[in-house]
Structure 1
């Protein structure tokens, strides 16, 4: 189980990023307004302010692995985005397998088919709850590419 701290969870999609945060003790997980994707620099401005406002100490990014635990094309995109964001924000990062998280969030919260971003943020909240239960620990992002990112995403939702 990871050390509790104020964390921002991201469910990175091509159009939106679902967001959820937790309190510094890791007790309360709150879905936040989803971010409509722009260019990375535009996303970064919004996320920098959110991290300042919430005193974020780390990031959790979902990686969509397939049923066999192998990375999908979207997982590679999420990994690049997460690493770039963590470096820009100078925050440690953890990966969580988000296989079926959007489906699970839709079922759990009655949001199946939602296009407003509420479903994306509900999925980010499930990812954060999973991370709080299972980890892994937040780790600083190294400037050079590392292949450990995908393998560290474990569990399932």
Structure 2
């Protein structure tokens, strides 16, 4: 059962990603997990180019982990985009040498649009607002960050129950 063994994460500087095909919404939090801030969205390119930008964010923010949204449907089942997000998240975490956690991003873009009046935004602000909601959800509910190797092996990769 999803969420049955959720451990609330220890506060640390984390980078949250709302991975899309064209853009990646980004948000970060302070090392105490008190303040969540949307960051400029990354307009997708080749993975190596994305990695350079994301590595810079991680270094300048002293990031200790990644939170990646997984798009699940209303029944909690993975969507077609979920596998893409899972592969991207694992590859990124392994490349950066950082642990990661998955968060159910069901309705996060809609919720961010409603909260911030960004419905229909194509600039990336909506994507980063959604990433901020994912990070807020993770700070409240977990799960704890885990090594990317365990995610690639298929263990510990289940997102938490519920969504934003």
With the length of structure 2 as denominator, give the TM-score of the two structures.
0.92
Unaligned runs of 5+ in 2: 1-7
Judging changes above 3 Å, is the alpha-carbon distance between structure 1 residues 139 and 46 closer, same or farther for their aligned structure 2 residues? Answer: same
Report Cα offsets for 1:96-136 as digits up to 9, x if no partner.
Answer: 00000000000000000000000000000000000000000
Report Cα offsets for 1:80-104 as digits up to 9, x if no partner.
Answer: 0000000000000000000000000
* One of 1, 9, 31 as aligned partner of 2:16: 9
Which residue does the alignment assign to 1:156? 163
* One of 113, 116, 121 as aligned partner of 2:123: 116
* One of 28, 38, 42 as aligned partner of 2:35: 28
Please report how far the alpha carbon of residue 152 of structure 1 lies from its aligned counterpart in structure 2 after TM superposition.
Answer: 3.0
Report Cα offsets for 1:23-48 as digits up to 9, x if no partner.
Answer: 00000000000000001000000001
With the length of structure 1 as denominator, give the TM-score of the two structures.
0.96
Which residue does the alignment assign to 2:63? 56
Please report how far the alpha carbon of residue 150 of structure 1 lies from its aligned counterpart in structure 2 after TM superposition.
Answer: 4.8
How do residues 36-75 of structure 1 correspond to structure 2 at under 5 angstroms? 36-75=43-82
How many equivalent pairs are there? 157
Runs of 4+ in 1 over 2 A off after TM superposition: 143-155
Contact 2:101 2:157 in 1 (8 A): no
Unaligned runs of 5+ in 1: none
| 1:83 and 2:87 aligned | no
